[in-house]
Homo-oligomer: A and B are copies of this chain.
Amino acid sequence: MKFSSKIEKCGQSPMRKFAPYADAAAARGLHIYRLNIGQPDIATPKVYFDTLKNFSRPVLSYAPSTGLPEMLDAVVGYYASFGVSLERGDMLITNGGSEALQMLLSCILDDGDEIVIPEPFYPNYATMVNLTGASVHPLTTCPEENYHYADRARVEACLTPRTRAIMITNPGNPTGAVLKPEELKLMLDIAKENDLYIICDEVYREFTYNGEPLLSALQYEGFEENVIVIDSVSKRFSACGARIGMLISRNRALIAHALKWCQARLSSTMADQLASAALYSVGPEYFDAMRKEYRLRRDTLLRKLREIPGVVCAEPKGAFYVMAALPVDDAEKFQHWLLTEFEDRGETLMFACGGPFYATPGRGLNEVRMAYVLEAPQLERAMELLAIAIERYNKR
């Protein structure tokens, strides 16, 4: 039986690819420090579960395709709290930020079209772009330059007659790069001048570690037709399993097209929309505590990582990942070895291998992304394991 050329082009998620080996290792009794997936360990606010506890109705009906009013209003209120004025009609509630991205890309990309994305980038972007028949045009960045991409000449060099959009993640996954307000403005300017959409994945908005105010592309006036924001409750409230995200844009023609996708899949879940709406009632102290905790983890991970000879990495300014080049021949081989042959006192570790974070063939093969989603002492130990493993791996 034949499969579509589009799905054939897609690879497995590098974050989940080694799951079978991890399962086998865990079955052998090994403890695994899992730095491969951006699954926070911060407690989910209790109000989520309280809302579910009180959720009952005679018939569990479809929600409106655009989103439940409670959820739409929670998002409107959240953005208003830092000066972004939105209406219900500027957004659609989706099954996670992922679905927002899927529907958006379907609305704007045709076969053969191109989308510019700074690399390294979140690998699922490539899968989603491939499924539309379009392709990623990478804007290559490197740790030596702190993954800097907001440079007019470099961005413009990536534009072709088939370019339809620029997509950025701010704060960045996997790089941790955070745009300065004037850098974000520059990206918006370039998009507008070239009649392009600019897709801003802002799901890590709260995760910055140098006291930056909340930043969104929606704060800038004059880019209403160009700016599309992807957002989600997953990282913000440590509620990945709620699968509630949103597509936000003041481009009403775009929202109208995306609504056709929304209607075709009927609605997002009723219970999770209600419980996610309630999450927006947590106060700033929740985010302050979270930022403090992640900052400690970042500093811990980075300190230990930099002690390992031959490692190259930049300091992440936001999100909760660090991208690093390791002194090994191939990160995938190394990961496979870590799960099948290595152990130290019954422990090993997982990361996401770097290759799929790049669209340029051959790049990132010795790089890894590590999510600092464990407590500091665990991260210390994980980095100790990494140091031991690198040494042992290279001496085989």
Binding site for B on A (CB under 8 A): 1-8, 10-13, 15-16, 37, 39-44, 48-49, 52-53, 55-63, 65, 95-96, 98-99, 102, 106-111, 113, 124, 127-128, 131-133, 164, 195, 197, 225-226, 238-243, 251, 253-254, 257, 259-261, 263-272, 275
Contact = CB atoms under 8 A, between A and B. Distances in A.
A113 B2 CA distance: 12
Nearest to A238: B59
A7 B260 contact: yes
The 8 lowest CB-CB distance pairs between A and B, nearest first, are A241-B270, A13-B263, A98-B265, A127-B264, A60-B241, A44-B60, A52-B52, A124-B264
Contacts of A267: 240-241, 243
A56 B58 CA distance: 23
Contacts of A1: 195, 197, 225-226, 251, 253-254
Given A53-B52, A238-B60, A242-B60, A261 B106 contact: no
A271 B239 CA distance: 11
Contacts of A197: 1
A96 B266 contact: yes
B16 A263 contact: yes
A265 B95 contact: yes
Contacts of A10: 257, 260-261, 264
Nearest to A279: B60
Contacts of A65: 13, 16
27 contacts: A1-B254, A2-B164, A4-B106, A4-B107, A4-B109, A7-B106, A10-B260, A11-B260, A12-B263, A37-B62, A43-B58, A43-B59, A44-B59, A49-B55, A52-B55, A60-B239, A61-B241, A62-B241, A63-B241, A95-B95, A95-B99, A95-B269, A96-B265, A106-B131, A241-B271, A242-B269, A243-B267
B61 A131 contact: no
A164 B3 CA distance: 9
Contact of A260 (B62, B107, B127): B127
A240 B16 CA distance: 30
A321 to B, nearest CB: 16
A260 B195 CA distance: 32
Contacts of A13: 65, 260, 263-264
Contact of A272 (B42, B265, B271): B271
Contacts of A253: 1, 3
A173 to B, nearest CB: 13
A170 B61 CA distance: 22
Given A1-B225, A13-B260, A111 B111 contact: yes
